[in-house]
Amino acid sequence: MLLAWRRDVRHFRRDPLDEQTVAELMATAQLAPSVGNSQPWRFVRVRSADLREALALHADAEVTQAGEAMSEERRASYSALKLHGMREAPEVIAVFCDEATPIGGGLGAATMPETRAFSVVLAIHTLWLAARARGLGLGWVSVVKADYVAGLLQVPQEWRLIALLCLGHPLEPDVVPELERRGWQARLDWRDNVSER
Ligand SMILES: Cc1cc2nc3c(=O)[nH]c(=O)nc-3n(C[C@H](O)[C@H](O)[C@H](O)COP(=O)(O)O)c2cc1C
């Protein structure tokens, strides 16, 4: 089942994706729901090797810094985790939310501006499932400072970073989340997250 097979992937083969595949995935993400039909997602494909390396170095530094705040016991297993595949994945895509888009006339977002960002997350999830359905893997990288990424990629000021994504063929598919396999955090039973009032 697609939702059970979907994984966050950090280990990629390096072979490139063909342009037609990338275009079809982007077209599928465009089908996501959005507040006021504002479609505020902005996908920036990082094609420059220098920009990619700058992003990877930045993420590495943030990973190290986050580890320093952890208990010694947690840090030992944390440092063994791989938290991004930006050096290997054939596609690195920065996803922004255009907080100033006039598309959709502000419907809904005037009352709840955060729904624009929610819409971008839905587009990412749509892309995630569409990629998996084609045997591709997607990894969500959040171990970065949003302002640093926006500055590096020189996007308009109104664009807020939602995610950095790595996309490509996974080294190997797996039905169990990597963090669960490595003993960091298992998926909870759904009953743990449902209550009644
Ligand atoms: C908002 C968000 C941010 C995430 N950030 C990272 C990240 O920086 N590095 C990473 O390796 N995984 C990241 N993940 C992936 C999660 O670790 C992963 O979804 C979770 O462990 C469950 O595994 P699964 O997606 O394979 O089911 C992120 C996922 C989400 C939804």
Q: pLDDT value at position 93?
A: 98
**Residue 9 to residue 89: CA distance in whole angstroms:** 10
- Three-class secondary structure assignment of the chain: CHHHHCCECCCECCCCCCHHHHHHHHHHHCCCCCHHHCCCEEEEECCCHHHHHHHHHHHHHHHHHHHHCCCHHHHHHHCCCCCCCCCCCCEEEEEEEECCCCHHHHCCCCCCCHHHHHHHHHHHHHHHHHHHHCCCEEEEECCCCHHHHHHHHCCCCCEEEEEEEEEECECCCCCCCHHHHCCCCCCCCHHHHCCCC
**Å from CA of 8 to ligand 1 middle:** 6
Q: pLDDT value at position 173?
A: 87
**Å from CA of 68 to ligand 1 middle:** 20
Structural domains present in the chain: 2-172 (3.40.109.10)
- Whole-prediction pTM value? 0.97
Q: pLDDT value at position 15?
A: 97
Mean pLDDT, 10 residues at a time, the chain of 197 residues:
95 98 98 98 98 98 95 91 97 98 96 97 98 98 98 98 98 94 95 97
User: Considering only CA atoms, which residue is closest to atom 25 of ligand 1?
Assistant: 8
Evaluate: CB of 140 within 6 angstroms of ligand 1: yes
